[in-house]
Structure 1
Amino acid sequence: MTQWNAHRALYEQEGFSVEIGILGGGIAGLSVALALRKQGYSPRVYERRAAPATMGAGVTLWPNASFVLEELGLLQDIAAIGGRPLTMRRQDDAGNALGGLDIGLLDRTMGYPTHTVLRRHLQEVLLDHAARARIPVEFGHQAVAIELDAHGRAVAQFDNGTSIRPDLPIGADGRMNSVARKFVAGDNAPIYQGFVNWIGVAQSQHALVDDGAILDYWGTGERFGCVPVRPDLVYWAAAQARPASQAIPSADMRGDIEDLFAGWPEPVADIIRATPANAIRLIAVHDLEPLQTWSRANVLLVGDAAHAPLPTSGQGACQALEDAWHLVRCLDSAGGGLDDVFQAFSRIRAPKTARLAEQGRGFARGLFATDPESCRIRNERAKASNPARDVQLLAAGWAQGLPMPAGSEGMPAQTGGFDSLYRIE
């Protein structure tokens, strides 16, 4: 029995349980809580918002995420509310084809399906399963500080005047204002990466898209991507390269988007018009530099607090789910106390998440280039890519560290996904 599990067993023998407090009730925090509960732990989640989050657009759950969802017993519920895309098609802003991705082949290669889901619906599934598992989720608990007590144990303080001192505090409080990350890493501020995203959800009484394909349109310094959950329900992101001084919302964001993407291929205009103007949100897109360590004292970081990639990585939610799967295995198998658990966890997770973050940056550099010649070269490379090889590269990269198929033999996981197609040299 490991030292950590011996400690846990002694607590349980004496009528106590190991206290695990999770700061953050988003995808990372709730999936970690569910994974811990399945292994017999009793986590408690503390969420800064006063009620379940309804913000955000949607999430594409690639096969590596579906593997974890199946392990957690959630995949059937996700399939019932989500979409099932089989292809992704790329075009330029004039409608010329730039290739795409055979998602059906990717799913078959990795052995699990891809699903598209509204973020609020995914949150509802996670909260529903947390309630079934009797995991307490305390809303209205904004962490404002973490300090060490006289025994070197972390104490998390909330803005409502309460505090907690669990055996294992887990920081899952996001990328932008993470109190847990500040405690672990000090000054490690989010980095603006030179572009903004407008996000929204379009719904109509008629079909907005012809089929279930993900559509990705590339311009010069602009991009529009739309992801159907159903033909009449589509989440989308419109993006533009902008200096930080201009990365602020305007009074008429839908009008701005309609003007910016006027003349782009259908169904871009229909999707924008089918989105309530008051539901469109502007995000100045930031990511984080990879950390040397994800823990301090008895505090561990997970999800965006530990490794927040750009949305161009396509893997933010997927990697949060992978954290949950790996953490419980580290807790059950590490050969010592929490220090050994933390070292094992970061040794497994840090290389993959750092690689994906860099790939997201590489993709963004090419995607939001403002030089027409660079964009022409980018588009030609995309058109010339080998679709079967693209699938194998993605499968190898995304399956790394998981017991699932990883593409063809000889395709090393570290090669990654599409980043080489978009790099402008």
Structure 2
Amino acid sequence: MDIGILGGGIAGLSAALALRKQGHNPRVYERRAAPATMGAGVTLWPNAGFVLNQLGLLQDIAALGGRPLAMRRQDAMGNALGGLDIGLLDRTMGYPTHTVLRRHLQQVLLEHAERAGIAVEFGRRAAAIELDAQGKAVAHFDHGASIRPDLLLGADGRMESVARRFVAGDNTPVYQGFVNWIGVAQAPHALVDDMAIQDFWGAGLRFGCVPIRPERVYWAAAQARPLNEAKSTADMHEELEKLFAQWPEPVARIIRATPANAIRLIAVHDLEPLPAWSRANVLLIGDAAHAPLPTSGQGACQALEDAWHLARCMDDGAGGSLEEIFQAFAKIRVPKTARLAEQGRVFARGLFATDPQSCRIRNERAKASDPVRDVQALAAGWGEGLPMPGGADSASEAGEGLGSLYRME
């Protein structure tokens, strides 16, 4: 089958690789002029590890990424708020967790696409999608060219998705009340004491740091702000140092080790869940279909899951119509991604509370959480729908026990 994919990010490239393995002919069209370097890093939890292994990418990711041992939560004074035994989670789910810079993940995907003979064209910005006289989608690009593939995948992100506009009409991203500063800190010496993800919570403030190596750490600082104030000063270094001046180490050390020109500020948006991800022969995947907040910890993981499930549905539905394949795919993917998106919103509301009493209750609940039960809940929720240990068979099991956990992708 001739498949056009709008978007050369995680969802688009992983879908191309999965479909190429089945003998399809995918071609990727990326709006940017060069491979994306946007974002700092991602944590690829065991459900992503399963997909990466299926795609033959896990070994390359392991060579570039880190293996976190634990996740530790603290308040802004350094008091412990519990955490997560990542080693136990990995053993429960049967696959490893890796931390990796987003550009390195992109590099691995592109290298494997090249080896598989998948064409990836940069500088191809889709301007519109319309139906031809036969009811088949035609994608038009800015420079005048058009494509009319058998299947058109919309993997063109959450903010300016042409494919989502075609499928769903006006579905505007929703600002969720906080901003993220993201960056990558690099030093000739260790910035952290061990390979643990550290998550610091304040009143309307958060700082999370994720090591790839002891001397290389990606991080996200966050603050609750109205949208009309979702901007930063010219000197983001100075602003961050003031905001987090009294917070425990390694916060200040990591900020200082990040070049000012390498820090980005993002007004964080997500999308309302869609009842349908397809129209005609166009199917949405990745952030174009479901764009959870970073507090879900599952954005990249769910993009990878989309690729694996779509390839399975295409294989199982060989000889059937695209509509039947799309329905099978949506039946698997819509409930799980909608639930994760809602959990991300719930977590964010608790995480960015500014009322001292609400923060105290939040922190006490986090301290009181059962670490073994937390692992079981995450294994059930994240493993749902995948043939891996620990996965849940029902929505209620998947959601149970997740309320006290807050994640950073």
The verdict on a shared fold, with TM-score over 0.5 as the criterion, is: yes
Structure 1 residue runs of 5 or longer lacking an equivalent are: 1-17
1:393 is aligned, of 359, 373, 377, to: 377
Q: Are residue 315 (structure 1) and residue 298 (structure 2) matched?
A: yes
* Number of aligned residue pairs: 405
Q: In structure 2, how many angstroms separate the alpha carbons of the residues matched to 1:417 and 1:78?
A: 30
Q: Which residue of 2 aligns with 1:15?
A: none
Query: How far apart are residue 37 of structure 1 and its match?
Result: 0.6
Alignment of 1:318-333 (within 5 A): 318-333=301-316
1:171 is aligned, of 154, 159, 177, to: 154
Which residue identity lines up with residue 273 of structure 1 in the other structure?
R
1:371 is aligned, of 355, 359, 384, to: 355
Structure 2 residue runs of 5 or longer lacking an equivalent are: none
CA RMSD of aligned residues (A): 1.4
Residues 343 and 210 of structure 1, relative CA distance in 2, 3 Å threshold: same
Q: Which residue of 2 aligns with 1:250?
A: 233
Residues 411 and 338 of structure 1, relative CA distance in 2, 3 Å threshold: closer
Q: In structure 2, how many angstroms separate the alpha carbons of the residues matched to 1:410 and 1:192?
A: 30
Residues 71 and 380 of structure 1, relative CA distance in 2, 3 Å threshold: same
Q: In structure 1, how many angstroms separate the alpha carbons of the residues matched to 2:325 and 2:401?
A: 30
- Identity within the alignment, %: 79
Q: Are residue 100 (structure 1) and residue 104 (structure 2) matched?
A: no
Query: How far apart are residue 86 of structure 1 and its match?
Result: 1.1
**8 Å CA contact retained: 1:109, 1:407:** no
1:343-376 per-residue CA deviation (whole Å, 9 max, x = no partner) reads 0000100000000000000100000001010000
**8 Å CA contact retained: 1:400, 1:413:** no
Alignment of 1:75-94 (within 5 A): 75-94=58-77
Which residue identity lines up with residue 225 of structure 2 in the other structure?
R
Query: What SS is found at the alignment partner of 1:270?
Result: helix
Query: How far apart are residue 408 of structure 1 and its match?
Result: 9.0
Query: What SS is found at the alignment partner of 2:81?
Result: strand
Taking structure 1 as the reference length, the TM-score comes to 0.93
**8 Å CA contact retained: 1:359, 1:416:** no
Q: Are residue 125 (structure 1) and residue 108 (structure 2) matched?
A: yes
1:204 is aligned, of 187, 193, 198, to: 187
Q: Are residue 265 (structure 1) and residue 266 (structure 2) matched?
A: no
**8 Å CA contact retained: 1:392, 1:411:** no
**8 Å CA contact retained: 2:72, 2:197:** yes
Alignment of 1:260-409 (within 5 A): 260-334=243-317, 336-406=320-390
Taking structure 2 as the reference length, the TM-score comes to 0.97
Q: In structure 2, how many angstroms separate the alpha carbons of the residues matched to 1:373 and 1:190?
A: 31
Q: Which residue of 2 aligns with 1:228?
A: 211
Query: How far apart are residue 333 of structure 1 and its match?
Result: 1.1
| Structure 1 runs, 4 residues or longer, greater than 4 Å off | 407-412
Q: Which residue of 1 aligns with 2:198?
A: 215
1:136-183 per-residue CA deviation (whole Å, 9 max, x = no partner) reads 000000111001111111110111211111010000000000000000
